[in-house]
Chain A
Amino acid sequence: MTLLKRDPKAPLSWQGELPVTNRYTYGLAGEKFFRTLMDEGRILGTHCPKCDHTYVPAAVFCERCLGKLDDWVDVGTTGEVVTYTFLHVNLDGSPLEKPEIIAFVRFGDGGLIHHLGEIEPDQVEIGLMVEAVFKPKSERIGSILDIKHFKPV
């Protein structure tokens, strides 16, 4: 049993793309969370009384019990660095000129992923308290980027 032979002139590969373009709504929870972030510079969570868990960013459902959440809480703008990393590569895999400091900052029982700024790399540590630095109100558009970065308290 032999397989067919490839035409020696055959092109090795065929190039193409997967054209995917999307528009995402922020949804039931995102509407309120991001409008409050944009308009008031506040970070909101929602609390599940059954599971005693506070979701940040706010969600309309509890992922543990699938209960509906409507107990909205203000969790402040200062949180603790749970973990951080110095990212050395770009989105396309090419090296970054200067590593970016990315952290997970705890609020309630959740938190936010963001850049750390106004800090030297050797000052970053787990447990550090940091606060959100907002863009000027006029530049905010209702986005996670309305927060410029987090800086040490």
Chain B
Amino acid sequence: MHERVAIVGVGCTGFRPITPEQSYKEMIYEAAMRAYNDAGVDPRRDVDSFVTVAEDFHEGTSIFDEYTPDQIGGALKSVHTITGDGLHGIATAYMLIRTGQFDIVAVEGHSKASNIKTLPEITAYAQDPILNRPLKLNSHFIAGLEMNRYLFETDSTQEQCAAVVVKNKFNAIKNPFAPYGANLSIEDVLTGPMLSWPLGERETAEHADGAIVMVLASEEKTLSLTDKPIWILGSGWSNDSPGLENRDWAHAVYTEEAARMAYRQAGINNPLEAIDIAEVDDTYAYKELQALEALGICREGEAGILTLEGFTNSDSGLPVNVSGGSLGMGNLLEANGLARALEIVLQLRGEAGTRQIENVNIGLAQSWRGVPTTSGAVLILTN
């Protein structure tokens, strides 16, 4: 059994609202090639197993895993798909390497959201067909319900949620991988169109296309491949009740559970003290606040206050979503968690360009699979 596992290569492409010049396969190849070059591996010779994350209805293909191997160098090799977020994919590669049977494993996630012409209706098909779908509601209502109860129980405000948008879109200006950077005021966010009150349209991440590939390796391989390994300290994931009828509307219990699992592996008792930088789900602005509390970085009701105070700005106590988050980089469907983890890897390597944060040693990435799910994952990395 291999105990220690590291990310030894990353590659990405896209991060634009549309990518009409490339097919999904060509886009993924570009990201994969960069990751393999970064890791210094040949996928045909060196990579033992491949994990992809995808969902059929996002691709417009049943049994989409059929179309995953060629562009990642996995043809006639050990490849499988996880219908989960990219952080589930990383967790899977982590487990595969820890078995001792695999030394190098690649993980791929992508979004061609621009190719989906009816995304709201596809998302609605994830609702319970008997209890919920007959009401014919746009799935954003689930986020509206959740946000309202979250604000109610934690005494948080719409203004605090808007502050997340302001911060993340501002951060995104410095990120070449972020198409949705902007310099907004809280007022700008709050006066935007309403989606599902109290949730406004400008608090919701727009979609983008992109592909991200990461290469993971066992300790022995890692040491021969790279002098800047990014080690996995902890990997956790969890689900809560999937139905709308039995869930906790205020809390991201799945994130609490996933964090507990990851912290236990990493030996972290005080996350605020231990973690230098965090990238969390902000596909809706309130989710960032909810996540920070679920991660135990602050107490319930404090995340909004800290955000307004600037504590989560890039130049402050705990930089959160320096990349711009999904609000800045776009909602990348199954690749969201990989985008969060990508920023942590770049920061821990000191390769984050003008947005580089000084003295970062431990970073955390967290993801959520979007409405209507209660599925989340947490990854803790160190350099």
By the criterion of a CB under 8 Å from any partner CB, how many residues of chain A are at the interface? Answer: 47
Within 8 A of B (CB), among A53-105: 55-57, 63, 82-93, 95, 99-100, 102-104
Q: Nearest chain B CB to A115's CB is how many angstroms away?
A: 7
Contact A113–B134 (Cβ < 8 Å): no
How many Å from the CB of B197 to the closest CB on chain A?
Answer: 4
- The chain B residue with its CB closest to the CB of A23 is B129
Whole-angstrom CA separation of A55 from B245 in the bound complex? 8
Contact between chains at A102 and B145 (CB < 8 Å): yes
From B65-73, B99-107, B136-144, B208-216, the one touching the partner chain is B136-144
Asked if A87 and B249 sit within 8 Å, CB to CB, the answer is: no
Which of B57, B120, B134, B245 is close to A111, meaning CB atoms less than 8 Å apart?
A: B245
Given contacts A18-B62, A83-B146, A126-B152, contact A89 B245 (CB under 8 A): no
B130 and A113 within 8 A (CB): no
B76 within 8 A of A: no
Tell whether, in the assembled complex, residue B249 and residue A24 are in contact, meaning their CB atoms are under 8 Å apart: no
B131, B141, B152, B198: which contacts A102 (Cβ < 8 A)?
B141
Q: By the criterion CB–CB under 8 Å, are B152 and A91 in contact? A: no
* Given contacts A99-B197, A110-B245, A87 and B138 within 8 Å (CB-CB): yes
Give the residue of A6, A63, A87, A145 whose beta carbon is less than 8 angstroms from that of B196.
A87
A82/B245 contact (C-beta < 8 A), A89-B140, A93-B120 known? no
Kindly state whether residue B364 has any CB partner on chain A within 8 Å.
no
Residues of A within 8 A of B62 (CB): 18
Decide: A126 near B245, CB < 8 A? Known: A99-B197, A102-B144: no
Contact B245 A88 (CB under 8 A): no
CB of B73, distance to nearest CB on chain A (Å): 15
Contact between B138 and A114 (Cβ–Cβ < 8 Å)?
no
Q: Which of B200-252 contact A (CB under 8 A)?
A: 241, 244-246, 249
Whether A83 contacts B138 in the complex (CB less than 8 A), given A91-B120, A92-B118, comes out as no
What are the residues of chain B within 8 A of A145 when measuring CB–CB? 134-135
Residues of A within 8 A of B136 (CB): 91
B145 and A84 within 8 A (CB): yes
Question: Can you give 26 contacting A-B residue pairs, CB < 8 Å?
Answer: A3-B26, A6-B21, A12-B20, A57-B245, A63-B246, A84-B145, A85-B196, A85-B198, A86-B144, A86-B194, A87-B138, A87-B141, A87-B144, A87-B196, A88-B194, A89-B196, A91-B121, A91-B138, A92-B120, A92-B121, A113-B132, A113-B135, A113-B244, A113-B245, A114-B135, A144-B131
Chain A residues with a Cβ under 8 A of chain B: 3, 6, 12-13, 16-18, 20, 22, 24, 26-27, 30, 34, 55-57, 63, 82-93, 95, 99-100, 102-104, 109-115, 126, 143-145
Which 10 residue pairs across A and B have the least CB separation, nearest first?
A: A85-B144, A83-B149, A86-B197, A93-B120, A24-B129, A110-B245, A87-B141, A83-B145, A89-B138, A87-B196
